[in-house]
Chain A
Amino acid sequence: GAVVSQHPSRVICKSGTSVKIECRSLDFQATTMFWYRQFPKQSLMLMATSNEGSKATYEQGVEKDKFLINHASLTLSTLTVTSAHPEDSSFYICSADTSGTGYNEQFFGPGTRLTVL
């Protein structure tokens, strides 16, 4: 099956610093990747759709200048949380669209737990 990895799996940072999270499709090419955020005991909320070679599409209420997304290749999308604050502490999950591979479904990465002190 299709495999999606995320790095790092866990990160703790000081308030005001920036954190980059990588999402990679390991055995397939993904023209579209998605970034979700999940606060404790809550559901997953879509933050943005990341398209290879073009600007990301952000959901309403998500600050594009704070959550920078770069989808530079067909196997890598990055999410940078700029000037992180404690309220940004959350579980960030990416997924990749496999519609071009024959699987026709969305595979999720293992998630990145961000803690901002």
Chain B
Amino acid sequence: AQKVTQAQTEISVVEKEDVTLDCVYETRDTTYYLFWYKQPPSGELVFLIRRNSFDEQNEISGRYSWNFQKSTSSFNFTITASQVVDSAVYFCALSLVNDYKLSFGAGTTVTVRA
């Protein structure tokens, strides 16, 4: 079985600060996908990134960046220069390559104060 752990329940920052969300996963499979989703107060899940277990390159997309380290089974997410609109619950998730069932972490609530 797969397990995703997001140890940080809530993070509160002031606008323009950087915030890093931790994600640690467990799986016995060697091929898998890792995801990050954003869930704003409206409830709809917004897809942010998918990373294949074969690809350990870090990725940057605008103010978002991801650090995938297979050696520590971690897939951390950093928001640079946070904005109030970044306030949301962020979920890390894992699925196996041929099975799209997602195992979600508990989520981290990010609050960005003006």
Contacts and interface: CB of A to CB of B under 8 A. Distances in A.
Contact of A44 (B42, B50, B104): B104
A112 B71 CA distance: 39
B106 A110 contact: no
Nearest to B92: A43
A43 B45 contact: no
B106 A32 contact: no
Interface string B73-114: 000000000000000000100010000111111110000000
B100 A43 contact: no
Contacts of A43: 91, 104-107
A33 to B, nearest CB: 10
Contacts of A34: 100-102
Nearest to A97: B100
Chain A, interface residues (CB within 8 Å), range: 20 to 34
Interface in A72-117: 91, 93, 95, 97, 99, 105-111, 113
Interface residues of B, number: 17
Given A107-B47, A108-B45, A110-B44, A46 B102 contact: yes
B101 A93 contact: no
Contacts of B107: 42-43
A110 B43 contact: yes
Interface in B36-78: 37, 42-45, 47, 50
Contacts of A105: 47, 50
Contacts of B42: 110
Given A34-B101, A107-B47, 13 more contacts: A34-B100, A34-B102, A43-B106, A44-B45, A44-B102, A46-B102, A93-B45, A99-B100, A105-B50, A106-B102, A108-B45, A111-B44, A111-B45
Interface of B: 37, 42-45, 47, 50, 91, 95, 100-107
25 contacts: A32-B100, A34-B102, A42-B107, A43-B91, A43-B104, A43-B105, A43-B106, A43-B107, A44-B45, A44-B91, A46-B102, A46-B103, A91-B43, A93-B43, A93-B45, A97-B100, A99-B100, A105-B50, A106-B95, A107-B47, A108-B37, A108-B44, A110-B42, A110-B44, A111-B45
